[in-house]
Amino acid sequence: MRLLLFNKPYGVLTRFSPQEDRPTLADHLQAPDFHPAGRLDHDSEGLLLLTDDGRLQARITDPRHAVEKVYWAQVEGTIDRDALGRLEHGVLLKDGITRPARARALDPAPALWSRDPPIRHRAAIPTAWLELAIREGRNRQVRRMTAAVGLPTLRLVRAQIGPFSVEGLAPGVAREATPLELDRFIARLQGASGGPANGRSAARPPGPVRSSGADRPSTRRPGPGPRR
Q: What is the pLDDT of residues 12-39, one digit of tens each?
A: 999 999 888 899 999 999 988 999 999 9
- Annotation marks residue 41 as catalytic: yes
- Decide if pLDDT at 159 tops 60: yes
d(CA 185, CA 71): 19
- Give burial (CB, 10 Å; 0-12/13-18/19+) of 174: buried
Specify the pTM. 0.84
pLDDT of residue 123: 78
d(CA 16, CA 21): 14
CA 60 to chain centre: 12
DSSP reduced 3-state for 91: coil
Domain residue ranges of the chain, discontinuous segments joined by +: 3-64+163-211, 68-161
d(CA 88, CA 213): 40
Beta bridge partners of 161: 69, 164
pLDDT of residue 50: 97
Measured CA distances, 17 to 75, 115, 173 (Å): 32, 24, 19
d(CA 99, CA 91): 8
d(CA 167, CA 144): 26
pLDDT of residue 32: 86
**Averaged over 151-160, what is the pLDDT?**
97
Same fold for the domain at 3-64+163-211 and the one at 68-161? yes
**Of the listed 21, 27, 33, 41, which one is catalytic?**
41
**For residue range 120-131, what is the model confidence (pLDDT) as tens digits?**
888 788 999 999
**For residue range 36-83, what is the model confidence (pLDDT) as tens digits?**
999 999 999 999 999 999 999 998 988 777 799 999 999 999 999 999
Q: What is the CATH number of domain 3-64+163-211?
A: 3.30.70.580
pLDDT of residue 198: 46
- Give burial (CB, 10 Å; 0-12/13-18/19+) of 63: exposed
pLDDT of residue 211: 54
Q: What is the CATH number of domain 68-161?
A: 3.30.70.1560
Percent of residues, the chain, with pLDDT higher than 90: 69
Between these two residues, 188 and 200, which has the higher pLDDT value? 188
